[in-house]
């Protein structure tokens, strides 16, 4: 999964829930990057 997909996924979900903090977004991206290997 590339960064653009992650950003699009995040913005799509922002309307469904409260916006996460930058730290939560970064942690989520890091988790995805680790899972992707």
Q: What predicted TM-score, i.e. pTM, was given to this entire model? A: 0.36
Flag residues of the chain having pLDDT under 50: none
- Torsion, Cα 28 14 6 30, to 10 degrees, reads -10
pLDDT at 14: 58
The per-residue pLDDT for 15 is 55
Q: Write down the pLDDT at residue 13.
A: 59
pLDDT for 3: 76
Residue found by looking up tokens 């930058």 in the block: 22
Q: Are 2 and 33 spatial neighbours (Cβ–Cβ below 8 Å)?
A: no
State the total domains in the chain: 1
Domain that holds residue 30: 3-36
Contacts of 14 (CB under 8 A, 6+ apart): none
């Amino acid at each position: 999964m590339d960064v653009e997909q992650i950003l699009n996924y995040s913005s799509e979900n922002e309307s469904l829930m409260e916006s996460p903090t930058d730290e939560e977004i970064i942690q989520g991206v890091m988790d995805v990057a680790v899972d992707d290997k």
